[in-house]
């Protein structure tokens, strides 16, 4: 497995562990009525979609930097439509608590996207330093 992808995976698991602990505390003590039974599935879905998108972006960047922007846009579109389909399926199956679902999804998406961008920017900086030597 690619070293950078493995490193991101480990960091992603640590972040997920922290989110699980914080979520438990928040839902258990503060927002108990808003807890969704689908939350664990939602968390796994977001983690997997971010792992996949990050892996594709790393490989794309290393393969051809000139075509990276188009690859990034394609990955973003696939991620967006994947999440949209997930929301639509949830809406069809369970019409209750849709606001809680969307807010929870948005918060998780935001956290993992910030983490993914931060990790990718550091990856690019390391790659550029290697090329400069």
Q: Are 110 and 19 in contact (CB under 8 A)?
A: no
The pLDDT-based confidence of 65 (bands split at 50, 70, 90) is confident
Phi and psi at 38, nearest 5°, equal -85, 0
**Per residue in 5-57, pLDDT tens?**
888 889 999 999 999 999 888 888 887 776 778 888 889 999 999 999 988 88
pLDDT value at residue 38: 82
CB 27 within 8 A of CB 35: yes
Question: How distant, in Å, are the alpha carbons of 31, 51, 53, 102 from that of 75?
Answer: 34, 12, 6, 21
Give the residue extent of every domain in the chain: 3-128
75-125 pLDDT, tens digit each: 989 999 999 998 889 888 887 788 888 888 999 999 999 999 899 888 888
CA dihedral (89, 94, 95, 99) positive or negative: negative
**pLDDT band for position 133 (cuts 50, 70, 90):** low
d(CA 18, CA 52): 20
Q: What pLDDT score was predicted for residue 15?
A: 94
User: What local confidence, expressed as pLDDT, does residue 109 receive?
Assistant: 92
pLDDT at 2: 79
Q: What is the pTM of this model?
A: 0.84
Q: Are 103 and 35 in contact (CB under 8 A)?
A: no
């Amino acid at each position: 497995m690619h070293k950078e992808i493995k490193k991101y995976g480990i960091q992603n698991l640590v972040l997920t562990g922290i989110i699980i602990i914080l979520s438990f505390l928040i839902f258990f003590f503060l927002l108990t009525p808003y807890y969704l039974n689908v939350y664990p599935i939602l968390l796994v879905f977001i983690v997997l979609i971010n792992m996949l998108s990050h892996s594709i972006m790393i490989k794309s960047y290393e393969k051809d930097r000139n075509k990276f922007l188009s690859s990034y846009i394609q990955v973003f579109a696939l991620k967006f439509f994947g999440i949209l389909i997930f929301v639509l399926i949830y809406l069809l199956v369970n019409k209750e608590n849709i606001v809680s679902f969307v807010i929870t999804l948005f918060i998780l998406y935001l956290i993992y996207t910030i983490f993914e961008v931060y990790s990718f920017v550091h990856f690019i900086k390391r790659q550029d330093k290697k090329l400069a030597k």
